[in-house]
């Protein structure tokens, strides 16, 4: 018999939305309807973006960083909104419009969305993966290991949303509650009984997943990122912890935790006793650990030691940190009560993730790799991994985002200088910030004697790095991965590192 930590799959019928006045009062419990509000006979949609309001919609006026939904009430009403939910006492709405005041509009939106779409998270065995690095690879790999013929598995993440019968482009790692719950409901309609999703710290803090029911919660790691938003590493950690300790919603049945990460070990100690914990990593005290590790340019081999015994694993994923990602996925598979031995064999057929250590091949005598590494830890891991399997020199093109954590820029440059033979610092989503300002912060991390060039134009920087490459070298183009644009002054300008590198290589090799 399989060791099923979660127990049998739940079969719970999804009720159609029965909102209106009763749902408004039940879901928004301690909040109250405006005394002059009419009876709400029907709500056709829920929106937090006034541009998406349709007739009969409930519009949630969410406060934001640059603007507030309350500034867009006129547009929402002109488009046919029948219910306005906000945190303000000062909203005057026309006759016939229901006005609801709430203490926290974001939490109210999540709670209302969940009920409006029939609480599909309770009918799915839902896996939530959080952490600074590795979320996308682990979520995609876990889906690959869990799915089978006639058994689709849903996926919500940075690269795309797979709803069981179709893929749609991703616009946020963790979507807003108004989009999340209909996606989960679509997965159920497509025959999914399981789904995997990435959960970002922004998504937790902004209550996009408030009240979400997770069967398994996964903690990958915590390293410096998003401090422009969270302020300190401690605050960043506390947001992640909410997914595991009942602050965000129901306790997960199983917590899968990186036992090699100091924050992971701390998290394991702070969880309530009713949460079953599985740890993974290289250290001896982890339940899923890798021994006798062998790494090369084709992938990795190791012995998996787990509660199920010892198994030899051959992975097509290159690098030490991808061994950690594989261990996490195996632990998740075990938590879901599935056959880990079958997953070990299935790993060999995994084709990787778009923009994650993705090679660009045009017949050149050196290697070109595009990766999403955009934090100091991720860049260090990527460069160290490529160093292990590169005979020649390792060269890197990278940048630091504008309007984001400025302290990270020095660390990113320091890592690049220490781990690469040659460095091109360039633009990477400058947003509204001038490149000179970004470069000034990055220059503070330049090490003495480092071979570093600052090139404003990203295409030009990639071109120069390819020109410098010799036989058996490796050029890493880091930071954007799967992204197909540059963010400049609130505008998305088309730019795909993979296409740019491919075009430049073709021109160099074939004169195209």
Quick one: CA dihedral 142, 143, 144, 150, positive or negative? positive
Asked if the structure places residue 14 within a domain, the reply is no
216 three-state secondary structure:
strand
Q: Do 92 and 157 fall into the same domain?
A: no
Residues in the chain: 512
Supply the CATH number for residue 321's domain: 3.40.1190.10
End-to-end CA distance of the chain: 60
Helices (H) and strands (E) in the chain, counts: 16, 24
pLDDT in tens, the chain (512 residues): 334 555 444 433 333 333 455 556 555 554 454 444 555 557 888 999 999 999 999 999 998 766 788 889 989 999 999 889 988 877 788 888 888 888 899 999 999 899 889 999 999 999 999 999 899 999 999 999 999 999 999 999 998 999 999 999 888 889 999 999 999 999 999 999 999 999 999 999 999 999 999 999 999 999 877 777 778 989 999 999 999 999 999 999 999 999 999 999 999 999 999 999 999 999 999 999 999 999 888 889 999 999 999 999 999 998 888 999 999 999 999 999 999 999 999 999 998 888 899 999 999 999 999 999 999 989 999 999 899 889 999 999 999 999 988 989 999 999 999 999 999 999 999 999 999 999 999 999 999 999 999 999 999 999 999 999 999 999 999 999 999 999 999 899 999 999 999 999 999 887 65
- pLDDT of 17 reads 38
Q: Do 112 and 136 fall into the same domain?
A: no
Contact 82, 57 (CB under 8 A): yes
Asked if the structure places residue 7 within a domain, the reply is no
Q: Do 338 and 367 fall into the same domain?
A: no
CA pair distance 143, 454, nearest whole angstrom: 40
Asked if the structure places residue 478 within a domain, the reply is yes
Q: Residue 473's domain spans which residues?
A: 358-510
468 three-state secondary structure:
helix
* 98-101 and 32-33 strand pairing: antiparallel
Half-sphere exposure of 485 (CA within 13 A, CB side): 9
CA distances (Å), origin 372, targets 79, 86, 357, 365: 39, 37, 8, 23
What is the total count of domains within the chain?
3
- pLDDT of 156 reads 96
457 three-state secondary structure:
coil
Element spanning 188, H or E: helix 177-189
CA pair distance 479, 226, nearest whole angstrom: 15
CA pair distance 421, 444, nearest whole angstrom: 18
Element spanning 500, H or E: helix 497-510
The backbone region for 20, taken as left when phi is positive above 0, alpha when psi lies in -120 to 50, beta otherwise, is left
Q: Do 160 and 103 fall into the same domain?
A: no
Asked if the structure places residue 209 within a domain, the reply is yes
Judging by beta carbons within 10 Å of its beta carbon (0-12, 13-18, 19+), is residue 347 exposed, middle or buried? Answer: buried
Asked if the structure places residue 379 within a domain, the reply is yes
257 φ/ψ angles, rounded to the nearest 5 degrees = -130, 135
CA pair distance 406, 383, nearest whole angstrom: 22
Q: Do 68 and 161 fall into the same domain?
A: no
Q: Do 397 and 323 fall into the same domain?
A: no
Supply the CATH number for residue 72's domain: 3.40.1390.10
Angle at the Cα of 383 from the Cα atoms of 349 and 224, rounded to 5 degrees: 100
443 φ/ψ angles, rounded to the nearest 5 degrees = -60, -25
Half-sphere exposure of 150 (CA within 13 A, CB side): 0
Answer with the one of 116, 150, 169 that is the final residue of a domain. Answer: 116
Query: Which of the 8 DSSP states describes residue 121?
Result: G
Supply the CATH number for residue 374's domain: 3.90.190.20
Q: Do 75 and 216 fall into the same domain?
A: no
* 167-169 and 422-427 strand pairing: unpaired
Q: Do 95 and 156 fall into the same domain?
A: no
Answer with the one of 349, 381, 413 that is the final residue of a domain. Answer: 349
Asked if the structure places residue 9 within a domain, the reply is no
Q: Do 387 and 239 fall into the same domain?
A: no
Q: Do 375 and 500 fall into the same domain?
A: yes
Query: Which of the 8 DSSP states describes residue 253?
Result: S
Contact 130, 238 (CB under 8 A): no
Asked if the structure places residue 378 within a domain, the reply is yes
Contact 363, 509 (CB under 8 A): yes
Answer with the one of 116, 138, 163 that is the final residue of a domain. Answer: 116
Contact 157, 130 (CB under 8 A): no
- pLDDT of 352 reads 87
Tokens matching residue 293: 């590790």
CA pair distance 482, 492, nearest whole angstrom: 14
Cβ neighbours of residue 78 closer than 8 Å, sequence gap 6 or more:
none
Asked if the structure places residue 11 within a domain, the reply is no
Q: Do 243 and 111 fall into the same domain?
A: no
Q: Do 310 and 396 fall into the same domain?
A: no
Cβ neighbours of residue 347 closer than 8 Å, sequence gap 6 or more:
141, 145, 313, 314, 315, 316, 326
């Amino acid at each position: 018999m399989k060791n099923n930590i979660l127990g049998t799959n739940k079969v719970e019928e999804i009720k159609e939305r029965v909102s209106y006045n009763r749902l408004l009062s039940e879901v928004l419990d301690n909040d109250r309807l405006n005394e002059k509000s009419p009876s709400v006979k029907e709500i056709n949609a829920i929106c937090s973006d006034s541009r998406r309001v349709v007739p009969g919609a409930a519009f949630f006026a969410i406060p934001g960083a640059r603007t507030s939904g309350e500034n867009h009430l006129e547009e929402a009403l002109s488009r046919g909104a029948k219910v306005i939910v906000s945190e303000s006492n000062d909203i005057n709405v026309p006759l016939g419009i229901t006005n609801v005041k709430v203490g926290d509009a974001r939490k109210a939106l999540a709670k209302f969305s969940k009920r409006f779409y029939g609480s599909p998270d309770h009918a799915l065995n839902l896996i939530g993966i959080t952490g600074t690095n590795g979320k996308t690879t682990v979520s995609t790999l876990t889906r690959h290991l869990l799915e089978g013929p006639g058994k689709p598995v849903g996926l919500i993440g940075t690269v795309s949303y797979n709803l069981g019968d179709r893929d749609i482009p991703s616009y946020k790692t963790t979507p807003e509650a108004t989009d999340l719950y209909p996606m989960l409901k679509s997965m159920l309609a497509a025959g999914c009984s399981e789904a995997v999703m990435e959960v970002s710290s922004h998504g937790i803090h902004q209550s996009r997943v408030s009240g979400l029911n997770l069967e398994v919660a996964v903690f990958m790691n915590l390293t410096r990122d998003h401090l422009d938003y969270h302020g300190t590493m401690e605050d960043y950690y506390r947001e992640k912890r909410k997914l595991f300790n009942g602050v965000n919603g129901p306790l997960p049945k199983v917590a899968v935790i990186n036992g090699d990460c100091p924050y992971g070990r701390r998290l394991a100690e702070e969880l309530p006793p009713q949460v079953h914990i599985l740890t993974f990593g290289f250290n001896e005290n982890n339940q899923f650990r890798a021994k006798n590790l062998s790494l090369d340019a084709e992938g990795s081999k190791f012995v998996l030691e787990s509660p199920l015994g010892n198994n030899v694993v051959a992975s097509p994923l290159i690098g030490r940190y991808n061994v950690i990602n594989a261990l996490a996925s195996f632990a998740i598979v075990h938590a879901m009560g599935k056959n880990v031995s079958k997953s070990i064999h299935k790993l060999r057929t995994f084709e990787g993730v778009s923009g994650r250590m993705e090679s660009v091949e045009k017949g050149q005598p050196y290697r070109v790799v595009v990766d999403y590494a955009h934090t100091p830890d991720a860049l260090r891991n990527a460069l160290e991994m490529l160093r292990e399997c590169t005979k020649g020199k390792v060269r890197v093109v990278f940048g630091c985002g504008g309007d984001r954590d400025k302290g990270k820029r020095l660390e990113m440059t320091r890592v690049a200088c220490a781990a690469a033979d040659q460095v091109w610092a360039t633009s990477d989503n400058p947003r509204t910030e001038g490149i000179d300002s970004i470069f000034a912060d990055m220059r503070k991390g330049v090490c003495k004697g480092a071979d570093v060039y600052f090139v404003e134009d990203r295409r030009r920087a990639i071109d120069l790095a390819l020109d410098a490459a010799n036989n058996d070298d490796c050029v890493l183009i880091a930071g954007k991965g799967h992204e197909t644009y540059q963010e400049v002054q609130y505008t998305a300008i088309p730019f795909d590192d993979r296409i740019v590198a491919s075009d430049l290589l073709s021109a160099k090799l074939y004169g195209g």
